[in-house]
Chains A and B, each alone.
Chain A
Amino acid sequence: MDRNVSAESASPVEALLDKVAALFSWVWLALIAVIVFAVVLRYAFGIGRIEFEELQWHLYAAGFMIGIVACASRDRHVRVDVLRENMAPRTRDWIDLYGILLLQLPFLTLVFLSSLPFVADSFSVGERSASAGGLPYRWLLKSMLPLTFGLLFVTTLSHLARVWRRLFADRPASDRE
């Protein structure tokens, strides 16, 4: 795993996403609380409520989607660094440049664009849980898809700008790294 704790300070976008991720991290505590509460209700009082089960995966889905963004903005997504370890910093930057342009941005664009009608369909029919007693406003959770991939796009642009600067703007700075 490559942890990019470079001397360069985070861009304003990354700093903001870091704060958002820190705030969202509390969902795990909320998730623990909901699970424990639901378990107690079920085993102590014999009450099984579908909305608690749904609330659990709603919290989890929001948490992992923001986690994907947080990893991207901190460059914590898993890399296979068997070969990367021995590469010059400039070689790494070239790989990141081509990777972002040919792989990452096209993928993020595809998911972002195809998630828009997905959410719109859900919103137009006022989709809610199919189970009796389930949660309403399913389109709200589905909106996490375009939101996440939009944020991923923005943080990837910020990464692209940094790689671009290192490769083409300030050579001395890139040699220092």
Chain B
Amino acid sequence: MSVREWLAVAMFASFIFGILSGFPVAWVLGGVAVLFTAIAIIVEQDFGHFTGVDWNFTSLVTDRIWDLMDNWVLVALPMFVCMGLLLDRAGIAADLMRDISRLFGRMRGGLAVTVALIGVVLAASTGIIGASVVLLALLGLPPMLEARYAPTFAAGTVCAVGTLGILLPPSIMLVLMADRLAISVGDLFLGAVIPGLMLAGLYITFLILYPAFRPDVAPAPEHAEDVDLALVLSVFRDIVPAAALILAVLGSIFFGIATPTEASGVGAFGALLLAAWRRRLGRNVLRDVLRETTLTTGYLFGIFVGASAFALVLRGLGGDELIARGLLGLPFGPNGVVLSILLVTFLLGFFLDWIEITFIVLPLVAPVVVGLGFDLVWFTVLFAVCLQTSFLTPPVGFALFYVKGVAPPEIDIRTLYVGILPFVGLQLLGLAFIFIWPDLVTWLPARAYSQ
């Protein structure tokens, strides 16, 4: 390895060390990029080793930030964030929790299934792991614990379902991945639909079967009411407008009627109307939602800006060739290379959020995978599911820490570790299915084109 490649490795190590200090991720990324530019200049001028990075090179970060500004695809991000916040403030999730749980009142594990269904329907509001996991924990944990569900079972359900939201379209993670890899957002959304629903199906099957064999984890409900027509109608009244809105957004993208950006803006408009129709849209609520959109967008793009600088300098130091050489030098076949990438991604997911991984790691490994003859949409979905699994996995899973922050005291970190294990197993099963049968990803986008 050349000196500049050692610098690239040291740069990555400094970054991991830096973020563990608890200093804001955005500034660690940008700062490490500037620091290593200075080091590269010293190494080149004083020690005579070629590095290829100097101030002129790193100044290109301005162009990279401008590329983020001059970007019509990413306009969808704040719009989806805004739509999610509006659906949240419209109180739809709370109404769904109340009504669907009555619908499943007589079933063992019914509350857990309710949480899973809400997670799927409101995946739109849940592009951000923290937001979705916290929402479901606040909404789902108290009734499940009150119904004497095992805390491990209840906590595991909330973590797993909340994290599934980052995969199910409309997902801001997929928008960013598509933008970075220059593939179509619509294709990636379509590709993620079947794997996402498959994972949701695996979860729900588990949530129904497990209590059947281990009745103590979810005791039979004591005073369940009968399901009558009025109840069914009330469930429909809650679920139809929100579900219709999300289906309209996704449908218009899938059928090529609207671009993802247009769909996101119209979706936000629909959420605005929905909130107004439910009489939840006062002036104060609107102001709060817009300010929260600014702040959420701000911290996302803060990391984008920092990560742009970091990725620029890492590439300047030859990090991309280093990765390509390392991957292709592995003593495995093409499948082995993909599995190795997934394993490393899984481990990186313990420390890094999806944003840094999407900006820094994904663009480095994607060309290698494409060069090996794999489908990029398939690989990206696989990569996304792998990241999502990583966020669930102890000891550092992001989702677990978010839930820990809002959970009642009887749910300690051990409860979360135990509770999440079966879901990590299901995730790995899902990952294996997608790996073995790429059609799960590629079938739907191919159909959309054949029309």
Interface residues in chain A, defined as those with a beta carbon under 8 Å from any beta carbon in chain B: 1-2, 21-22, 24-26, 28-29, 31-32, 34-36, 38-39, 43, 53, 56-57, 60-61, 63-72, 74, 76-84, 87, 92, 95-96, 99-100, 102-104, 106-108, 110-111, 113-115, 118, 141-142, 144-145
Contact = CB atoms under 8 A, between A and B. Distances in A.
B69 A70 contact: no
8 contacts: A22-B287, A35-B266, A57-B70, A67-B294, A77-B26, A82-B396, A111-B309, A113-B59
The 3 closest A-B pairs by CB, nearest first: A103-B31, A67-B298, A35-B265
B219 interface: no
B19 interface: yes
Given A28-B82, A107-B30, A118-B66, A39 B61 contact: no
A74 B25 contact: no
Given A25-B290, A83-B22, A95-B23, A76 B69 contact: no
Nearest to A118: B62
Given A79-B24, A80-B22, A118-B62, A74 B78 contact: no
B27 A103 contact: yes
B79 A31 contact: yes
A87 B24 CA distance: 15
A99 B28 contact: yes
Given A32-B272, A36-B266, A38-B262, A111 B25 contact: no
Contacts of B396: 82
A103 to B, nearest CB: 2
Nearest to A141: B69
Nearest to B60: A114
Nearest to B353: A78
Given A63-B297, A103-B23, 4 more contacts: A28-B290, A43-B257, A67-B294, A78-B302
Interface stretch (B2-10, B32-40, B161-169, B425-433): B32-40
Contacts of B297: 63-64, 67
B290 A65 contact: no
B369 to A, nearest CB: 28
Contacts of B11: none
B75 interface: yes
